[in-house]
Every structure is written in structure tokens, then in C-alpha cells.
Amino acid sequence: MKDGVLPRGTRERLMRARLRRALRRPFRSLTDLPIARRVGFHLRRVGGDLDLHFFRNLLRALLGFVFFAALLVTLVEESKRSLGGLGASVYWAVTTVIGSGDAGYPSSPAGFLVGWLLSFFGVAIVGALTAACVGFVIDFLLKEGQGMGSAGFTDHIVVCGWNSTARELLEELKGDEFTSRVVVIHDSDSNPAGSGAYFVKGDVTNDDDLERAGIRDAAAAIVFPRDASNDADMRSILTVLAIESMAPGVRTVVEVNNPKHVEHFERAKADEILVTSRLASRLLARSALYPGLATLVTDLVSGGDGSELYRVALPDDVAGSTTDELSTRLRAEHAATLLAVVRNGVGITNPGSDFRVAAGDHAMVIAESLGTMSPTEPSATAEPTPTPVTANATGLA
């Protein structure tokens, strides 16, 4: 670079790059569609199995046959024996192959024979292309139904593994205000979720299968153990490690069988760890002491009618407000009750009256709906220290 002027070669490369971006921009919305991504995946898969050398030879043979037929007609037709006649014959041969040629162009018996051979050859070519297209569509539908496709979604939820808890989760995500697409990756012959989710058949610890599930573009991944054994927990740890290595920005929630394995999941950097057995036992114990508690908790964490738990982003103008001021504002503007303030990924449950909200804090509230409140985006949350969710957990991260 001299006096701030880029070299000519660099300027030309930049101009070409800008031109490519400008040409791609109108089609970007089309390529972002899930169906377009799936078709592209299958095209790449089919294209990888094609013998390009065979198709190159076929194209050469087709062009050679068309040119030879045009040359033959030019030679046998006395009125067309000229350079201009050769050009017209080539045009006639090409249009005859695709089915729109002038049948009256040749006037001699030999010319008619060449035209008939070209027409027959054209029908064969069209039939082969049609069969290839139909075969691709059938293969696409079969592979999609068998879970061999690629999801192509963005900001979706990936369910890794399947058990009875996963089935209940799908039912929960179908209702209320959940709008995210769901992708289930499981090693089974059919979709365990039925029509409620996109199915990817594969190994939850395999990078290629996670790639087909769109793990890099997902909003969250939920890992379920296949059974209640310790081996299932070990496999879940491998799944979390695979996800974190491919997409560290994706929020990972994992169900754990054995509480002794929580430390291993923390080392694997799982964002949320749910020990279902401990949670259930302690909720049962509390319900025995305080009647109605189980019904209340079930209502809060379930969709449908009634109030529910939400984590929402607080606007900047509430920074510096006390807990009482924030509670009053939430109650007056959103009919919401404040439960906790989340700061840097750590939940402060039932903060005192002298507690003041800081910029970037989030709130855990009880409300009938989000209304005009903004839900917390997974990418906007700070990275918390993983906390196993149990009945005596002090954090609500």
C-alpha cells in the first residue's frame, strides 16, 4: 500500500468479493429456509456418490452426437452445404434433441432418418433426466422419513436421547408460549416423538449426527439418559462433551440419574444439571409437611392455564431500583410477582428490601403470560457455574 492506495490486485479482489455478496443477498432468505437447507444437504450427499468422470464422458458423447448429426445433415442436404447452413443445422439438431425442432428442416430421406434418430435420442435424454429427478425426490422423502436427513433449523431445541421424561417435555413444548422448533436425535428406526418433532437417526455422541441435528445453530440442547443406569449417565457426559466441543455457545441442560455424577457433568461444562430422583424425593417430603406444595410447583412449571415461571430481561431504566420498587413496578405493569434476581448467572432468591438492581440483571417472576416482558435470550446470559437443581438448591440460575 502506498499513500493509502491499495494495490490494483487487492482492489480487484475486494470488488469481486463485494459483487458476489451483492448477488447472493437476494437469495439469502431462500437459503435460510429449513427446506432449502435439507434439499442442499441431500444434494451434497447424492453428489458425493456420483461418478463425475462418467457424466463428463456422457456430456462429451451428447455434444459429439449432436454435432455429428448436424454435420451429416449439412452434407446430405445440397441446399445447406455452407458454413451458414452448418450453423443452422447445429441449431436444428439441438432443438430436435430437446423436442422443439423443425420437422421440415431436412428434405432428403437421409436427413429425415437423422432427424428421427435425434428425436429418439432426445426422448431418451428427457426420460433419463425425469427419472433422475423423480428418484431424487423419492430418495429425499425416504431419507427424511428414516431420520437420515438434516434439520436445517435455527434457534431450535435439540433433544439428545429419549425416555419417558423426554416424551413429557415434548408435550410441554407443544403448548403455551413455546414456539421453538424441536429436533430429536435418537438411535431408533422411527421417530419416537411422532409428528411433534423433526427426527434425526443417529448417535448422540457422534459429531456428524449432531451436525445433522443443527447443533451449531441451536438455542439449547437437552440431554436425556436412555435408562436409569450409571452407564446412561456416562453416555450423557460424552454427549455433553461432544456438544460443548462443537457449539460451546449452546445452552446445555442435562437430566442425571445418580447425584454422585453431578461433579462430572460440571467438569463437562453443562449449563443446567437436573437430578430428577433427588428433586422428586425432596418435593415429596416437602409436600408431606406442607399440603398443596406439589400441586403449586406442578402448576408453576407446567404450561396451560394459570401462572408460570419466567426468566425475563430487565430494562436498563430499572438499574438502581430497590427490590420493593421493582416488585411494585412488575406487579403494576405486568401482573407479575418477583421471586429472584439473577446476576452473573447466580440466582438471588427473595432478595432483601435494601437490595438494588444493577444493569444487566434478570428476574425470575411468576406471571400468567410474558405479555410485553422480554424473555431472556440464551446468548445474552452470562456463563453461570453449573448448579444441580434440587429441592434445597439456593440458586435459580
pLDDT digits over 60-76, tens only? 877 888 888 888 888 87
Note the pLDDT of residue 380: 40
Do 298 and 318 have their domain in common? yes
Residue 235 sits at φ, ψ, to 5 deg, of: -65, -35
Residue 393 lies in a domain: no
Res 51: pLDDT:
60
> Would you say residue 390 lies in a domain?
no
- pLDDT higher than 60, residue 26: no
* In a shared domain, residues 163 and 266: yes
Question: Do residues 259 and 164 both lie within one domain?
Answer: yes
Residue 50 confidence (pLDDT): 58
In Å, how far from its chain's centre is CA 330? 35
- Give 3 or 134, the one with higher predicted confidence: 134
Contact 263, 389 (CB under 8 A): no
Total structural domains within the chain: 3
Calculate the CA dihedral of residues 146, 150, 155, 156 and round it to 10 degrees: 10
Can you say how many angstroms the Cα of residue 52 is from the centroid of all Cα atoms in its chain? Answer: 30
Return phi, psi of residue 12, to 5°.
-65, -40
The pLDDT assigned to 17 comes to 65
Q: How far apart are CA 133 and CA 5, in angstroms?
A: 51
Both 217 and 182 in a single domain? yes
The reply to whether 75 falls in a domain is yes
- Type of residue numbered 106: P
What number is the average pLDDT over the span 239-258? 94
DSSP state of 99: T
Euclidean distance between CA atoms 133 and 135, whole angstroms: 5
Cell of 267: 467438569
Claim to verify: residue 209 and residue 186 sit in the same structural domain: yes
pLDDT at 236: 94
Q: Is residue 229 in some structural domain?
A: yes
Listed residue (166, 173, 168) closest to 236, CA to CA = 166
pLDDT at 9 over 70: no
Q: Give the CATH number for residue 127.
A: 1.10.287.70
Q: Once rounded to an integer, what is the mean pLDDT over residues 125-134?
A: 77
Segment 256-273 shows an average pLDDT of: 92
Most confident among 2-16, 52-66, 220-234 (mean pLDDT): 220-234
Chosen domain end from 145, 172, 200: 145
Residue 30's pLDDT band, with cuts at 50, 70 and 90, is very low
Q: What are phi and psi of 6, to 5 degrees?
A: -75, 150
Q: Do the beta carbons of residue 140 and residue 42 sit within 8 Å?
A: yes
Residue 389 lies in a domain: no
* The predicted structure's pLDDT at residue 145: 75
Q: How far is CA 139 from the centre of its chain?
A: 21
What φ, ψ does residue 247 adopt, rounded to 5°?
A: -140, 75
What's the CA gap between 114 and 313, in Å, rounded? 76
Query: How much is the pLDDT for 264?
Result: 94
Continuous H helices in the chain: 8-31, 34-49, 52-76, 83-97, 109-145, 164-174, 207-212, 230-246, 262-267, 276-289, 293-301, 323-334
> Contact at 8 Å (CB) between 272 and 253?
yes
Same domain, yes or no, for 111 and 190? no
* pLDDT of res. 126: 73
Q: What is the pLDDT of residue 123?
A: 77
Kindly give, in sequence order, each residue whose CB lies less than 8 Å from that of residue 262, ignoring residues fewer than 6 positions away: 256, 273, 275, 388
Same domain, 265 and 304: no
Tell whether 187 is covered by a domain.
yes
| CATH number of the domain where residue 319 is located | 3.30.70.1450
Q: Are strands 374-375 and 362-367 parallel, antiparallel or unpaired?
A: unpaired
Q: Please say which residue of 122, 145, 168 terminates a domain.
A: 145
According to DSSP, the β-strands at 362-367 and 337-343 are antiparallel
Rounded CA separation 394/341 (Å): 12
Q: Is 34 left (phi over 0), alpha (psi -120 to 50) or beta?
A: alpha
Residues 100 and 165 in one domain: no
Cβ(213)–Cβ(189) below 8 Å: no
pLDDT of residue 288 exceeding 80, the answer is: yes
Does residue 177 carry a pLDDT above 80? Answer: no
The answer as to whether 7 is a domain residue is no
Q: Give the domain range for residue 365.
A: 292-384
Among the candidates 119, 145, 171, a domain finishes at: 145
What is residue 22's predicted lDDT score, i.e. its pLDDT?
59
pLDDT tens digits for 182-208?
A: 999 999 888 888 877 889 999 999 999
